[in-house]
Copies of this chain bind each other. A is one copy, B any other.
């Protein structure tokens, strides 16, 4: 099922941009885990709109209400369901969009798939707003992983043509614009401001690193860490590419350059380099797991665009009004962390069956 992810931990995401609520049900959480609600809220706030000058002015508190699965703040073993009410909706903004599909959006494909009864308002179930429940589930998984000594961190690696190639040593989640190099971050925000001024938008790349992983997570073939993580990360709207370790750059290397030599360090097996991004044969090797996700530029732009009228089946034009992000990459940073945390924790539970 398309709104469901996971074999050992399973989450089901529901809701549309303008439905009564959005939410998530998570099955398979260990019983007896005390969720740090303040930490979870802080994590959710990193994704929430209206946090900085680069984002949409739509503001949603994004405070989850827990309907089930807890006694107090402790998991009780039953499925956990959390919802967020949709309060600040402006459906009037979307009337024209009932018959004029926005380029780069799922309006047209949703119309083909679900017909006239589809919920097009705000993108419906395809909306980026559905990453809020993803972050609820992911935020809980982040805490469960921390208990195991595993951390998941992401940063903006690129926006438009600006890249941040500084080594990803420390955390950046406290920054409103989470790059490692502040200089690169300034240049990126400049690109965003330029795009905004042009009623346009830009894309970018988010990089994620998972540290503290034991060797042995993941499975061969379709159950590899790459497969598991890609399936989760492509669930974030606008992701068009996912790569691990050296990724597409690896294709240009020779084996003698790309192979990571094994060596002993402090009595345990390690590798001298980490071109493979911590994954061999789909299974973690104990080194940091590294991946990058490419985000296309926000499809909602203020310029007039060519489209069709689905009532008359004729060419027409569309100018999108309403509130839109000229760049969603910085807001996508916690979403990537969430998706990766979910995939990693699912693999972690899988591994528990084996040992």
Tell me which residues across on chain B come within 8 A of A281, comparing CB atoms.
105-106, 109-110, 126, 237
- A106 cross-chain contacts in B, Cβ below 8 A: 220, 280-283
* Structural contact, A294 and B248, CB atoms closer than 8 A: yes
Contacts of A245 in B (CB 8 A): 240
Given contacts A71-B118, A78-B220, 9 further A-B contacts (CB under 8 A): A3-B221, A3-B222, A14-B78, A105-B280, A106-B220, A126-B282, A198-B254, A243-B243, A267-B313
A241 within 8 A of B: yes
Neighbour of A195 across the interface among B14, B76, B254, B271, CB < 8 A: B254
* Alpha-carbon distance A163/B237, docked complex (angstroms): 29
Are A240 and B231 in contact, with the CB atoms below 8 A? no
Chain A interface residue number, banded: 35 or more
Supposing A3-B223, A15-B81, A294-B243 touch, asked if A202 and B255 sit within 8 A by C-beta, the answer is yes
Give the interface segment out of A41-49, A176-184, A300-308. A300-308
Residues B232 and A222 in contact, CB atoms below 8 Å apart = yes
Q: Indicate with 1 or 0, residue by residue over A227-267, a CB within 8 angstroms of chain B CB atoms.
A: 10011101101011111111110111111111111111001
A259 near B104: Cβ-Cβ < 8 Å? yes
Q: Is the CB of B294 within 8 A of A215?
A: no
A337 located at the interface, meaning its Cβ lies under 8 Å from any Cβ of chain B in the complex: no
Complex: how many Å from CA A8 to CA B219? Answer: 13
Please, which residues of chain B bring their CB within 8 A of the CB of A74?
A: 117
Q: A19-B67, A114-B31 are in contact. Are A315 and B264 (CB under 8 A)?
A: yes
Q: Shortest distance in angstroms between A4's beta carbon and chain B's nearest beta carbon?
A: 7
- Does A141 have its Cβ within 8 Å of any Cβ on chain B? no
Find A240's partner among B70, B75, B227, B250 (CB 8 Å cutoff): B250
Instruction: Tell me, yes or no, whether A125 is within 8 Å of chain B by CB.
Output: yes
Task: Determine the distance from Cα of A124 to Cα of B282 in the docked complex, in whole angstroms.
Answer: 14
Q: Is the CB of B284 within 8 A of A109?
A: yes
Cross-chain contact B20 with A66 (CB below 8 angstroms): yes
Give the residue name and chain of the B residue nearest to A318 (CB): B262
Instruction: Indicate whether A285 reaches chain B with its CB closer than 8 angstroms.
Output: yes
Residue A37 at the B interface, CB < 8 A? Answer: no
Residues of B contacting A283 with CB < 8 Å?
106, 109-110, 112-113
Of chain B, the residue at the smallest CB distance from A324 is B255
The stretch of A50-58, A143-151, A166-174, A346-354 in contact with B is: A346-354
Complex alpha-carbon distance, A31 and B224, angstroms: 17
Interchain Cβ contacts under 8 Å between A and B, 24 examples: A3-B220, A12-B25, A19-B70, A77-B117, A106-B280, A108-B262, A158-B252, A203-B252, A221-B235, A222-B235, A227-B231, A227-B235, A240-B248, A241-B242, A241-B248, A246-B296, A248-B248, A250-B296, A256-B301, A258-B299, A259-B299, A262-B306, A269-B313, A352-B353
